[in-house]
A and B are shown apart, each in its own frame.
Chain A
Amino acid sequence: NAGVTQTPKFRILKIGQSMTLQCTQDMNHNYMYWYRQDPGMGLKLIYYSVGAGITDKGEVPNGYNVSRSTTEDFPLRLELAAPSQTSVYFCASSYSDRVFTFGSGTRLTVV
């Protein structure tokens, strides 16, 4: 059982480039989330989804976009990378509001 799988694990982007962070879960969870974690700042919610075709903004959505075409996949898109988006990104999923399962994270550096 793979759980939540994130790719890539590391990435360096130049300012203005775009990329997609991939997230896949195999637990048939309806809820999926993207968080970013900055040093000493805890995790902040970027976007979340309550099911295929339904997404909504979290606390820090600016500069990001998401889509949820299937239950399993919840990619996060950065269109014009900025240094402020340097962070560690975690995808998570849950069945309802109970225990969240996290992916192993993507460390992104924008230079």
Chain B
Amino acid sequence: EDKVVQSPLSLVVHEGDTVTLNCSYEVTNFRSLLWYKQEKKAPTFLFMLTSSGIEKKSGRLSSILDKKELFSILNITATQTGDSAIYLCAVSAYSGAGSYQLTFGKGTKLSVIP
């Protein structure tokens, strides 16, 4: 059974802090790892990672994948209150008959206090 484990499950930081969120996985037929940010409603896409060692960046957020050790990290620098959300890690895997599935971790709830 495919498994995605995120840590920590919750985190409280002050504005301006830097945070690192972790995601480890055990899946068969790995295709890609995705990070989503979920505020009130639907998850919104942040990054998709398919290759080891290549950092993806978007403003203060960055992420990297290690396919040998089967984990990814999401870094947020100079955190702001608007970064408060649940961050979801998901792994896409080929499930046979031309189909792909996303397996989600439980998420990391980040709270940024002023």
- Which residues of A pack against B, CB within 8 Å? 31, 33, 35, 40-45, 48, 50, 56, 58, 90, 92, 94, 96-105
Contact = CB atoms under 8 A, between A and B. Distances in A.
A102 B42 contact: yes
Interface in B14-56: 31-32, 34, 41-45, 48
Given A97-B92, A97-B94, A31 B99 contact: yes
Contact of A43 (B9, B92, B104): B104
B100 A105 contact: no
Given A40-B9, A42-B104, A50 B41 contact: no
A85 B77 CA distance: 38
Tell me the dominant secondary structure on chain B's binding face: strand
Contacts of A94: 100
A103 B43 CA distance: 9
Contact of B102 (A40, A45, A50, A104): A45
Contact of B101 (A48, A98, A101, A102): A48
Given A42-B88, A42-B106, A99 B34 contact: yes
A90 B101 CA distance: 14
17 contacts: A31-B99, A33-B101, A42-B107, A43-B88, A43-B102, A50-B99, A90-B43, A97-B32, A97-B100, A99-B34, A100-B34, A100-B45, A100-B102, A102-B42, A102-B43, A103-B42, A104-B41
Nearest to A41: B106
The 10 closest A-B pairs by CB, nearest first: A97-B100, A102-B42, A42-B104, A42-B106, A43-B104, A50-B99, A97-B92, A97-B31, A104-B41, A104-B42
A90 B42 contact: yes
A90 B99 CA distance: 19
B82 interface: no
B98 interface: yes
Contact of A99 (B45, B94, B101, B104): B45
Contact of A58 (B42, B92, B98, B101): B101
Contacts of A101: 45
A50 B104 contact: no
